[in-house]
Amino acid sequence: MANLWSGRFEKGMDKIVEEFNASIFFDKRLYDCDIAGSIAHVTMLCEQGIVSKADKEKIVETLKEIKTEIQNGTITFDVHDEDIHMAVEGILIKRLGETGKRLHTARSRNDQVAVDTRLYAKREIVEIIEVLKYMEHVLLEKAEKYNNQIMVGFTHMQHAQPVTVGFHLMAYFQMFKRDIERFIQCYERTDYNPLGSCALAGTTIPIDRHRTAELLGFKNVTENAMDSVSDRDYVLEILSNASICMMHISRFAEEFVYWNSQEFSYISIDDSFCTGSSIMPQKKNPDMAELLRGKTGRIYGNLMQLLTVMKGTPLAYNKDFQEDKESLFDTVDTLKKSIVIFAKMIEKTEFRMEIIKKHLDKGFLNATDIAEHFVKNGMPFREAHEIVGKMVKYCETTNKDFIDLTDEDLQKIDSRVNNTLLPDLTMEGCVNGRVSYGGTAPKEVLRQIEAGKTWLGGVENEL
Confirm if 88 and 66 have CB atoms less than 8 A apart.
yes
Is 213 within the bounds of a domain?
no
Asked whether residue 43 falls in the same domain as residue 98, the answer is yes
Asked whether residue 258 falls in the same domain as residue 344, the answer is yes
**DSSP class of residue 7?**
G
Q: Are strands 267-268 and 350-351 parallel, antiparallel or unpaired?
A: antiparallel
The 3-state secondary structure of 413-432 reads HCCCCCHHHCCCCCHHHHHH
Asked whether residue 132 falls in the same domain as residue 26, the answer is no
Asked whether residue 123 falls in the same domain as residue 96, the answer is no
Is 1 within the bounds of a domain?
no
Asked whether residue 323 falls in the same domain as residue 193, the answer is yes
Asked whether residue 242 falls in the same domain as residue 269, the answer is yes
Angle at 239 between CA 236 and CA 243, to 5 degrees: 135
Asked whether residue 272 falls in the same domain as residue 160, the answer is yes
Asked whether residue 262 falls in the same domain as residue 405, the answer is no
Asked whether residue 353 falls in the same domain as residue 378, the answer is no
Residue 231 CB contacts under 8 Å (≥ 6 apart), including other chains:
114, 194, 222
Element (H, E) at 396: helix 381-398
Cβ burial 254-278 (10 Å sphere, 16+ → b, else e): ebbbebbeeebebbebeeebbeeee
Q: Which of 338, 256, 334, 350 is nearest to 298 (CA)?
A: 334
Is 30 within the bounds of a domain?
yes
Is 138 within the bounds of a domain?
yes
CATH number at residue 10: 1.10.275.10
Which residue, of 105, 122, 143, is where some domain finishes?
Answer: 105
- Is 137 an active-site residue? no
Q: Which of 422, 418, 432 is nearest to 376 (CA)?
A: 422
Active-site hit among 156, 272, 278, 436: 156
- Is 277 an active-site residue? yes
Which residue, of 84, 105, 126, is where some domain finishes?
Answer: 105
Instruction: State the pLDDT at residue 10.
Output: 57
Is 212 within the bounds of a domain?
no
391 vs 375: CA distance, rounded Å: 16
Asked whether residue 337 falls in the same domain as residue 376, the answer is no
Is 199 within the bounds of a domain?
yes
Asked whether residue 385 falls in the same domain as residue 322, the answer is no
Angle at 149 between CA 148 and CA 155, to 5 degrees: 105
Is 327 within the bounds of a domain?
yes
Q: What is the mean pLDDT of each run of 10 residues along the chain (463 residues)?
A: 54 72 91 98 98 98 98 95 96 98 98 98 98 98 98 96 98 98 98 98 98 98 98 98 98 97 95 89 91 97 98 95 97 98 97 97 95 94 96 96 93 88 92 97 98 94 74
DSSP string, 216-252: HT-SEE-S-HHHHHH--HHHHHHHHHHHHHHHHHHHH
Which residue, of 306, 340, 359, is where some domain finishes?
Answer: 359
157 vs 132: CA distance, rounded Å: 28
Angle at 32 between CA 86 and CA 216, to 5 degrees: 105
**DSSP class of residue 42?**
H
Is 337 within the bounds of a domain?
yes
CATH number at residue 439: 1.10.40.30
Element (H, E) at 153: strand 150-155
- Per the structure, the count of domains in the chain is 3
Instruction: State the pLDDT at residue 5.
Output: 43
Active-site hit among 6, 52, 261, 277: 277
Its domain, for residue 33, covers 6-105
Gyration radius of the chain's alpha carbons: 31
| Global pTM value | 0.94
Asked whether residue 166 falls in the same domain as residue 257, the answer is yes
